[in-house]
A and B are shown apart, each in its own frame.
Chain A
Amino acid sequence: DGGITQSPKYLFRKEGQNVTLSCEQNLNHDAMYWYRQDPGQGLRLIYYSQIVNDFQKGDIAEGYSVSREKKESFPLTVTSAQKNPTAFYLCASSVRDTQYFGPGTRLTVL
């Protein structure tokens, strides 16, 4: 069953903690992306990776970090430096220019 999985679905974090969001795909897509969505806002690009062991900052990378050690996996770490991390986080992968999204992780900072 091919697709993109994200875990956990809901995540609660205390202020000052780092947390890591998982994104896995078995679609054999080369490129993967992380977006953030706030209420009433469009999706904003955090990081993207077009190939294993390479990634680039998006529009709002401050306070986030990523790795791409395997084609299937693109985890996102939300660090304590991110001032307002409460949001809906979406992972996507693409074949050529068409992106497909995972189900998302809703992060809440307590």
Chain B
Amino acid sequence: QKEVEQNSGPLSVPEGAIASLNCTYSDRGSQSFFWYRQYSGKSPELIMSIYSNGDKEDGRFTAQLNKASQYVSLLIRDSQPSDSATYLCAVIEGSNYKLTFGKGTLLTVNP
């Protein structure tokens, strides 16, 4: 049974701080990793994908992947109240393109 684990939170940070969201996965064969943001009552929207070990930056967002430790993280710099949402980690193993989701981490950014 493939598992993706996230701390459910809530994670509370002040405005302007760095928010760090973490995710671990059980399947060593996992190839593709995704972060989605989900506002309350809305559908998930894709933030970033990452495939190789190391960091990938997109604006205020940085995804970090460590396949040896089976660990993927998302850093949000200069956090804004509009970043308050649930962040979902999702992982694909192999070529079947089936995503396994974590339960999500609720982030609250306080003004």
Contact = CB atoms under 8 A, between A and B. Distances in A.
Contacts, number: 48
Interface in B30-67: 31-32, 34, 36, 42-46, 49
Nearest to B106: A40
B34 A98 contact: yes
Q: Do most interface residues of chain A lie in helix, strand or loop, or is the interface mixed?
A: strand
Interface size class of B (residues with CB under 8 A): 20 to 34
Interface of B: 4, 8, 31-32, 34, 36, 42-46, 49, 88, 90, 92, 97-99, 101-104
23 contacts: A33-B99, A40-B8, A42-B102, A43-B44, A43-B88, A44-B101, A45-B98, A58-B98, A90-B43, A90-B44, A94-B97, A97-B31, A97-B32, A97-B49, A97-B92, A98-B34, A98-B46, A99-B97, A101-B44, A102-B43, A103-B42, A103-B43, A104-B42
Given A42-B102, A104-B42, 15 more contacts: A31-B97, A42-B101, A43-B44, A43-B88, A43-B99, A44-B101, A90-B44, A97-B92, A98-B34, A99-B46, A99-B99, A101-B36, A102-B43, A103-B43, A104-B43
